[in-house]
Amino acid sequence: MSLLPSFSLLGSGPTVVLLHDADGDHLSFAPQLETLACAGYRAVAWDMPGYGRSAPVEPYGFKGLAQRCLLLLDALQCGAVTLVGHGLGAMLALEVALRAPERVQRLALCAGGPALDAAATAAWVAPRLAALGEGLDMARIAERIVPRDAGPAALPEGLRLVHHAMGRVHPATYRRALQALPEFARSASALAQLHVPTLLVGGALDRCTPPEALLALAHVLPDARAVMLPGVGHWPQLENPEAFEGALLDFLAQPGRVLH
């Protein structure tokens, strides 16, 4: 079995790699794949190890996930990239940038990035693990979780895609990803060393990564700015894709950092 993660690729130009959350797969960034390609970027949406056709990683944690992400970057034969991460994928983007800063030109962190505190773990991880413990399949878990964690202004078509992507996740992989989430433990002092232009996009009503958590991270990172989308919950890129993509494209148009 190949260790290279499976991925979707569209377009040509500067490379933007899209890293999904525990709740979905590459489809979690399906609208952005096309938008970025049309805007002149080479957009790549991976399936995290254990998702889609990507081989799992042992042990399942941020070190192994980062190594697989770097393997993908090697296969793409690209220079420094923009990493766009959602939820767990945002934490992973930070992990990759800390491990291989020369590979990362920019970071865009969507509804994630800060280490989970006890409140976020209770609000986000615990209900999902409880649903798995009840023996619910992923489609039924999505029926329970998505309405609770989305915002009232969410685009209905976007929520249908959230449901669909979550329903495709293997329950055993989902459990391991959820268990890995609280293990992200990069300190503020470590993150303060990341001199990478960073965009933080959050939903104003996200209970997993509430606005105050993203704003606190924006103060820690040396070159970061935050955008909060009103009426949106945990899936900004699907609940309000127009606003999310507008913020992302504006950010990508700004000068990146100079790599030496």
In what order do the strands lie in the sheet containing 42-46?
A: 7-10, 42-46, 15-19, 81-86, 104-110, 198-203, 224-229
Count the domains in the chain: 1
Per-residue pLDDT, 76: 95
Of 219, 251, 257, the residue nearest 97 (C-alpha): 257
Judge whether 2 lies within some domain.
no
pTM over 0.85: yes
Per-residue pLDDT, 185: 86
Per-residue pLDDT, 2: 81
User: What percent of the chain is helix, strand and coil (3-state, nearest 5)?
Assistant: 50, 15, 35
Write down the number of H helices and E strands in the chain: 12, 7
Distance CA 163, CA 191 (A): 33
- 166 alpha carbon, distance to own chain's centre: 14
Classify strands 15-19 and 104-110 as parallel, antiparallel or unpaired.
Answer: unpaired
Per-residue pLDDT, 260: 45
Range of the domain at 26: 7-252
Judge whether 94 lies within some domain.
yes
Judge whether 259 lies within some domain.
no
Per-residue pLDDT, 171: 97
Judge whether 260 lies within some domain.
no
Per-residue pLDDT, 108: 98
Per-residue pLDDT, 257: 57
Question: Residue 156: CB partners within 8 Å, gap ≥ 6?
Answer: none
Q: Which helix (H) or strand (E) holds 86?
A: strand 81-86
Residue given tokens 């509804």 in the structure block: 111
Phi, psi of 234 (to 5 degrees): -85, -5
Residue given tokens 């895609």 in the structure block: 161
Judge whether 86 lies within some domain.
yes
Of 134, 76, 109, 71, the residue nearest 216 (C-alpha): 109
Handedness of CA 238, 241, 243, 248 (dihedral sign): positive
**Cβ contact 196:107 at 8 Å:** yes
pLDDT tens, N- to C-terminus, the chain (260 residues): 589 999 999 999 999 999 999 999 999 999 999 999 999 999 999 999 999 999 999 999 999 999 999 999 999 999 899 999 999 999 999 999 999 999 999 999 999 999 988 888 998 899 999 999 999 999 999 999 999 999 999 999 999 999 999 999 999 999 999 999 999 989 999 999 999 999 999 999 998 899 999 999 999 999 999 999 999 999 999 999 999 999 999 999 987 655 54
The CATH number of the domain holding residue 47 is: 3.40.50.1820
* DSSP 8-class letter at 97: H
3-state secondary structure of 232: coil
